[in-house]
A = this chain, B = another copy of it.
């Protein structure tokens, strides 16, 4: 599969996931880009994500990172789920911050994958680092003949 084809398959798989992805849509996430083994996703910190001091709940930062991870690890067009992840919180995110999560593959075996996600704010400051473990459960997200 050429790089161009891989990117087209990744795009088609992501589109199929997104149609179905009420949770990410409800959080106002934006899928900025996707390619084989990587994905970028953005989210703006909203009123219902912060405490009284305007600090974003870490759970929403994780949710953004986990979403970018999901699109990256499904980009082979094989149904893949998160088995686990570690997140390190480096700086607080604040109300109205626009956060961007950039996921990329570290290692993809047949079934098991390891992916890194950096969550940065608009100034490029690192808010969190996430490392996720994926398991491919099989089956295609989209038919490749159709998608490419």
A-side interface size class:
35 or more
Identical chains in the assembly: 4
A98 on the B face (CB < 8 A): no
5 contacts between A and B (CB under 8 A): A22-B51, A58-B66, A84-B86, A86-B131, A107-B129
Closest chain-B Cβ to A146's Cβ sits at a distance in Å of 19
Q: How many Å lie between the Cα of A60 and that of B22 in the bound state?
A: 13
Binary B-proximity of A16-41 (CB < 8 A = 1, otherwise 0): 00011111101000000000000000
Question: Cα distance A116–B82 when bound, in Å?
Answer: 20
| Chain A residues in the interface with B (C-beta under 8 A) | 19-24, 26, 47-53, 56-60, 62-64, 66-67, 81-90, 106-107, 109, 112, 114, 126, 129, 131, 133, 135
Residue in contact with A89 in the complex, picked from B19, B49, B83, CB distance below 8 Å: B83
> Among the listed B67, B82, B133, which residue makes an inter-chain contact with A133, where contact means beta carbons less than 8 Å apart?
B133
The answer on a CB contact under 8 Å between A83 and B23 is no
Q: Are B48 and A26 in contact (CB under 8 A)?
A: yes
Closest B residue by C-beta to A126? B107
